[in-house]
Amino acid sequence: MSRFFCAGLFDLPELRAVDYYWRLDADSVLLAPVPYDIFARLADAGKQYGYMVVTKEESVVVEGLWNTTQAYLDAARIQPTFLRNHVRSPPPPAQKA
90, 70 contact by CB (below 8 A)? no
Q: State in Å, rounded, how far the first CA of the chain is from the last one.
A: 29
pLDDT in tens, 31-77: 899 999 999 999 999 988 887 766 777 788 788 887 887 788 788 88
HSE on the CB side for 65, CA within 13 Å? 16
pLDDT of 1 reads 57
Phi, psi of 43 (to 5 degrees): -65, -45
Is residue 14 very low, low, confident or very high in pLDDT (cuts 50, 70, 90)?
Answer: confident
Spans of all domains in the chain: 20-88
Q: How far is CA 38 from CA 10, 24, 32, 50, in A?
A: 20, 14, 14, 9
